[in-house]
Amino acid sequence: MNYINHNKRVYLLNYHTIWCPKYRRSILVGQLKIDLENIIHDTIKEKRGDIIALEVMPDHVHLSFSLPPDVAPHNAVKLAKGRSSNLLRKRYPHLLKMPCLWTRSYFISTTGMVSTETVKQYIEKQWDKAKKK
Distance between CA 82 and CA 102 in Å, rounded?
A: 9
Mean pLDDT of 119-123: 82
| Entry pTM | 0.84
Pairing mode, strands 4-6 and 107-110? unpaired
Q: What is the pLDDT of residue 127?
A: 77
pLDDT tens digits for range 22-70: 999 999 999 999 999 999 999 999 999 999 999 999 999 999 999 999 9
Assess contact for 64 and 54: CB atoms under 8 A.
yes
Domain boundaries 4-132, CATH class: alpha beta
**pLDDT over 70 (residue 133):** no
pLDDT tens digits for range 3-23: 788 888 888 899 999 999 999
DSSP code per residue over 35-49 = HHHHHHHHHHHHTT-
Q: What is the pLDDT of residue 60?
A: 96
Q: Is 122 annotated as catalytic?
A: yes
pLDDT tens digits for range 63-95: 999 999 999 999 999 999 999 999 999 999 999
Q: Which of 107, 89, 111, 90 is nearest to 98 (CA)?
A: 89
Other beta carbons within 10 angstroms of residue 78's beta carbon come to 13
Distance between CA 72 and CA 70 in Å, rounded?
A: 7
Q: Which of 22, 5, 12 is nearest to 88 (CA)?
A: 22
Domain parsing of the chain, residue ranges: 4-132
**From 3, 11, 106, 122, active-site residue:** 122
What burial class does residue 116 get, using C-beta atoms within 10 Å of its C-beta: 0-12 exposed, 13-18 middle, 19+ buried?
A: buried
